[in-house]
Amino acid sequence: MPQSTDRVAIVTGGSGGIGRATARRLAADGLAVVVHHAGNQDRAEEAVDAVTRAGGRAVSAGGDVADEDAMRAVFDVADARFGGVDVVVHTAGIMPLAPVAQMDLDTFDRIQRTNVRGTFVVDQLAVRRVRAGGAIVNLSTSVTRLQLPGYGAYAASKGAVEALTLILARELRGRDVTVNAVAPGPTATPLFFEGKSQEAVDRIAAMNPMERIGTPEDVAETVAFLAGPARWVNGQVLYVNGGAA
């Protein structure tokens, strides 16, 4: 695809593993990128530096994804620095794990606030700001199919993300804006490795026929496809998991 010099992307959670890889991948396609963070400004600035060292344009912006005022300010940064928004990739989310019987309800509420309300807030702003020819890409999870014990609260939140994605695609009839979700399988990020033994990692890797854990770059490649050339892919959930489900 020809490099774009005037398209602008916001990547929420851009300081994290998948978000960071996505910011770099979109910048490689010529998009200017707003790298959002929820608090880890240093990591976001590292992502910005990586983009600018490679010849791209990027800036960081922080805020709670579930806070509409904070996220409106992030969109304002895109307008002020780069002149608008064409692509919104919503990767920000949290993943506390516990069996349903043991999940603390305050933790459950925190998961839903960040993952469900946060997606709704970001998507609502995206609908109001993204220009024609643009794309909205939400992050779901392959756990909605794999049904792994301990992931109940997280999978429930991502099931809501998928429902919102598919309905929003249809609400934007006539706007020339695509809305899709990417559902990664186990991906080599700090969030994935936290609290797992090497034995557990190896067991999870063996669940797919590729017999490895996915990389953030694997996911970012699919996001870039949806953000750029995939204009005939709309209202879909793409599973990026090496064939695990």
DSSP letter for each residue of 45-105: HHHHHHHHHTT--EEEEE--TT-HHHHHHHHHHHHHHHS-EEEEEE---------GGG--H
The answer to whether 154 is a known catalytic residue is: yes
Q: Are 138 and 119 in contact (CB under 8 A)?
A: yes
Question: Of 142, 113, 137, nearest to 123 (Cα)?
Answer: 137
Residue 180, judged by CB atoms within 10 A of its CB (0-12, 13-18, 19+), counts as buried
The residue annotated as part of the active site, out of 154, 192, 225, 239, is 154
**Residues designated catalytic:** 154
